[in-house]
Amino acid sequence: MTTSYVVLRSDTVAVVVTDDDAMPRIVHWGPPVPDDGAYDALLDVAIPQGSLDVAVPMGILPEHARGWSAYGGISVHRGDGTSWAPLLSRTASTHHGGSFAWHGTDDRARISVAVELALDEHGVLLVRTSLTNDGGATLHVAGVVPVLPLPHRAVEVLTLTGRWAREDVETRTVLEVGALALENRRGRTSHEVQPTLMAGTRAFAQESGEVWAAHLAWSGDHAARAEVLPDGRRLLSVSELLLPGELRLAPGDTYAAPEVHAAYSAHGLNGISDAFHAHVRARPGHPRTPRPVLLNTWEAVYFNHDLAELTRLADAAAEVGVERFVLDDGWFRGRGDDTSSLGDWYVDTAKYPDGLDPLVDHVTGLGMQFGLWVEPEMVNPDSDLFRAHPDWVLGLDGVEQVMARHQVVLDLARPEVSAYLFERLDALLTAHDIAYLKWDMNRDLVAAGGRDGAAGVHAQTLALYDLLDRLRRAHPAVEIESCASGGGRVDLGIAARTDRFWTSDCNDALERQSIQRGFSYLVPPELMGAHIGGEWAHTTARRQWFPFRAATAFFGHLGLEWNLLHASAEDRAAVAETIARHKALRHLLHHGRTVRVDHPDGSALVHGVVAHDRGEALFSYAQLTAPDRTAPAPMRLVGLDPDRAYRVERLLLPGANWAPGKHEPSWYAEGLEASGALLAQLGVPVGIHVPEQATLVHVRAL
C-alpha cells in the first residue's frame, strides 16, 4: 500500500497527514516544514524485541484491530457484543486548500466514519469526527475519541482546574510516564476541569517555548488526557465523555463528535492565545460593536426588588456612564429568595404592578440598554411549573432527586419542555425592549436520566444548543451572556451561541487577577465579563481599595456589581472617570493582542494589550501579595515594534497616585521615551507596591 501525504499550512503551522487506505495519521503538527517527500524514510521507526511485529499506527481515531492498546479511538459495540473493534478502509478522501476529509467503512462492523481536518489562517486546527451506524441493529457508542500526536520534546502539561469562585487555576505537570487524565461528569463544562490542555517543551512560559494546545468545543461532560506510551510516543486528547448507555445509534443514525480546536505556538503561551483569539474573533457572529459598560443588580439589591430604588439606581448608573442596565434574579412571579418560582417566567405583579415596562422605559429613556436575568434550564419544586409538570425534570424513576440551590433540572430534550421555554422567553423579548439576556445555570447535572431512563447529558446539551439557536434566530439583535454560577460553562461550543461570559461569581480583584489570566488563554477580553464590585467582596470578605478593583476589571468587558446608591459621591466620581477612560481605550482593549509577561517575581502579574499595528498598548503591573524583594523588578513591555520609538506614561485611575515608597521613578511624573527594543528588554522601573495595588501604563508610538 502506497502512502500519500497531505500538508495543511498556515503562516505559523504545518499539519502533515497520511492519505491512504487506512485511518489517517497526523505525522507532524507544529512549525512549518518543507514538503521534500522524505516522510516515508523519516517515519520508518525501529521495532524492539518483545513487541508486536509492526509499528502500531497512531491514527486520528486509532484502532484496536491494528494493535492499538492505549487510549482513544472508537469505542462501540452491539447488543450481542460484536462490532467492538472496527477496522476502517478508505472509501473517499478530498483535499482542498486548508482542509482534508477522509471517509472510511468497515463492512464487518457495519459502521462508517468521517474525519475532517481544517487549518484556518490563524493556525487553529479543527478536528471533526463522526460515526454512522450502517447495520440493522442498534449501535452502542461509548466514545469517539480523536488523538493528536505530540513530539517527544513536549514533556510538560498545563491544565486549568479550580472550583466555584476560583476558576482557571493553573497547574503544571511534568509527564514522563503514564497519563494525566482529567474527567468531568458534572453535566456542564464545569468550574473544576476546563476542556483545555496545553503541553509544551520543558518550562515553557508566556513568551518562550513551544506549546501545543487542544480545546473541546462542548458544554457537557468531557475527558482530557495527555499520555506517554511505552514506546515514548506522546498524545493529547479532548473528547466528550459519554455515560453508560447514553448514546445509542439506531440504524442509519450518525453521531457527530464535538469539534476539537487545536493550536501550536513557537512563542510560548502568548502564541496560543494569539491563535485562539484570532480564531474566535473571526466567527461571523462575533460582537463587532463596542462592548457596553453594564451594571448588574445582583450584588446591588439581590432579591429585594423595589421599583423606586431600581429607578434611582438606573439614574445613578446613567450618570456614571453605564450603557446597559441588567435586572438580575427576583423579577418573576413569587420569587422572594432562591427556594421557589424558577420556571414561572412571568413578571411578578406584586413587585411590578404595571409589569416591567415602567422600569424598561425608564432605563431606555436614559439612553441605556435593558438586560434581564433568566435561568431557563432549572425549576424549583416550589413552582407552578413543577406542580403542573413534575415529570419534566431530569432524574431516575424511584430515586429521590439530588437538590442543589433548591432546584432541579428541566429535561430540555423533551419537545414540550423546550417549546414552553421558547414560548416564555420569546414572549418576554417580544413584549419588552430587552437587548440582553444573562442566561444563568446554577447547578450540576447528577443522575440526569431522560424520559427513557438513560443518561441524558448528551441530549440535554444538544437541546440547549437548539433552544439558544432558535431564540437567536427569532431575536438576532439580543445578546446573551453565558453564566453558570460564574465560569462553570466556558467553552467554544456555548461561545458559538453567546456574546459574553460571566467569568466568575467572585468579584474579589485579587482572585480575579489569576482567574482572568487563565481565562485569557482561550477567550479574547471583549467576551470576559469583568465587574467592579463594592469595597467589600461578597465571596471572600476582603476589602480592597478602588484603584485595584478598577484596574483589574479595566481590561475585560467592563461592568459594575455595586449599589451606587450606597456609594459615596467620591466613589461615584471615581467610577465615572474610570468608565470614561475605559471607553476611550475600548478600541485597543477589545481588539488588540493580549500579551502576558514573564515576570521574575511571582508575587506580581504583568500583562497588557497591544494594538495589532503596534502603535499603542496598555499594560498592567498588579502586585498580588508582598513582593519577594524590597524593590520591584522592572516591568518589561513586550509585543511592541523594537525599531519604533514610544511615549510611556502612567494611566492614573482615581485614587491610584498614592505611593508607599520614599521615591518614585521619574517617569511616573514626566513620562519617558524609548524604543520598543529597550522597553521589552530593560523594561521600565516601577514604584514600590503594597499587596493589592496596580499600576497601568499607556504606551503610544511617536
Per-residue H/E/C for 658-702: CCCCCCCCCHHHHCEEEEHHHHHHCCECCCCCCCCEEEEEEEEEC
Alpha-carbon distances of 169 from 192, 506, 511, rounded to whole Å: 9, 14, 10
443 in Cβ contact with 409 (< 8 Å) = yes
Distance CA 397, CA 382 (A): 20
Q: In sequence order, what E strands does 38-98 have?
A: 73-78, 89-96
Return the sign of the alpha-carbon dihedral for residues 288, 291, 292, 295.
positive
503 in Cβ contact with 530 (< 8 Å) = yes
The helix (H) or strand (E) run that includes residue 569 is: helix 569-589
Q: Is 499 a catalytic residue?
A: no
Distance CA 125, CA 260 (A): 8
C-alpha cell at 487: 465560569
User: How, if at all, do strands 254-256 and 604-610 pair?
Assistant: unpaired
C-alpha cell at 359: 422600569
Distance CA 77, CA 72 (A): 15
Query: Which residues are CB-contacts of 120 (< 8 A; sequence separation ≥ 6)?
Result: 10, 98, 126, 279, 282
Query: Which residues are CB-contacts of 618 (< 8 A; sequence separation ≥ 6)?
Result: 555, 585, 588, 589, 608, 609, 651, 696, 697, 698, 699
Distance CA 608, CA 636 (A): 10
Query: Which residues are CB-contacts of 218 (< 8 A; sequence separation ≥ 6)?
Result: 189, 195, 240, 258, 259, 461, 491, 493
Distance of CA 179 to the CA centre of its chain: 24
As separate numbers, helices (DSSP H) first and strands (DSSP E) second, the chain gives 14, 36
Partners of 179 in beta bridges: 227
User: How, if at all, do strands 99-106 and 178-184 pair?
Assistant: unpaired
Backbone angles phi, psi at 418, to 5 degrees: -60, -35
Considering 120, 348, 440, 508, which one is annotated as catalytic? 440
Distance CA 649, CA 363 (A): 37
Residue from 580, 574, 567 nearest 312 by CA: 567
Residue from 419, 432, 414, 433 nearest 471 by CA: 419
C-alpha cell at 137: 441493529
Return the sign of the alpha-carbon dihedral for residues 228, 231, 237, 241.
negative
Considering 344, 491, 499, 505, which one is annotated as catalytic? 505
Q: Is 641 a catalytic residue?
A: no
User: How, if at all, do strands 369-374 and 645-651 pair?
Assistant: unpaired
- Residues with catalytic roles: 440, 505
